[in-house]
Structure 1
Amino acid sequence: MSKEVQTIVKSLSDKHAEKITVMNLGESTTLADTFILATANSDVHMNTLMETTLDTLEELGLPSRLEGASSPRWRLIDAGNLVIHIFSRQGRDFYGIERIWGDAETVEIGEDMPL
């Protein structure tokens, strides 16, 4: 896991994101090398996670483009070879990113996992 990914995951974890998952897509797509998925427990929490992630990307000097800024289910932040998905609980189940990219190498970040 790259230093950038670790930093973003830590910032999400620090803001109590749920079910943080890192997916290494490798050569299975040209969309991105890595997806980071996180679940928010409310609309306010989703906004907090989105703002925190955008701030972290800026601090890292990475580009960012936000999609779905007003969506109650899914916010996507495109940072080039890295895409961050922030979901509501319902949105995560509905969109099923883990099912779509089921063959990707996946790391689920637990509360006890050092970053």
Structure 2
Amino acid sequence: MNNKELIQVVAEACDDKRAENIVALDMNEVSLVADYFVICHGSNERQVQAIARAIKETAEENGKDIKRMEGFEEARWVLVDVGDIVCHVFHKDERYYYNLEKLWGDADRIALNITQEG
């Protein structure tokens, strides 16, 4: 499975847990931190944890090791490091405060094949 396919299945896992405003960014030209970011948010701590857990399980089911997961207990900003892809799962209040999409505004967005509601 290549990175673009993994981004899609990770986005679907987020969508299954009703994550909101799921965005994927191609970071190759703008950052050395990761090749891709997936960013989304949940409306409460419990949902944020469920989304992060779904990302971890989906990545592992597809043969990818989770390098690190930070912030899970607090569930305000959970970072899931899947190697070339870093997933940021925010609590909605934190998402708008940190506004990674604006911070990394030069990054190209990757089209996702999901149907988001809300």
TM-score by length of 2: 0.87
Residue identity in the other structure for 1:105:
D
Choose which of 77, 92, 96 in structure 1 pairs with 2:95: 92
Aligned 1:10-89 pairs, distance under 5 A: 10-64=12-66, 65-89=68-92
Shift of 1:49: 0.5
8 A Cα contact 1:19 1:109, kept in partner: no
**Total equivalences in the alignment:** 113
- Identify the residue that residue 102 of structure 1 maps to in structure 2: 105
Residue identity in the other structure for 2:11:
V
Shift of 1:112: 3.4
The one-character-per-residue Cα deviations of 1:50-104 (angstroms, maximum 9, x if unpaired) are 1111101111111211011222420000111100000011110111111110100
8 A Cα contact 1:21 1:36, kept in partner: yes
TM-score by length of 1: 0.89
Q: Please list every run of 5 or more consecutive structure 1 residues that lacks an aligned counterpart in the other structure.
A: none
**2:49 counterpart SS class:** helix
Shift of 1:108: 6.6
**Identity fraction in percent:** 28
- Identify the residue that residue 2 of structure 1 maps to in structure 2: 4
Residue identity in the other structure for 1:63:
D
Q: CA RMSD in A?
A: 1.8
Distance 1:108 1:88 in 2: 23
Residue identity in the other structure for 1:8:
V
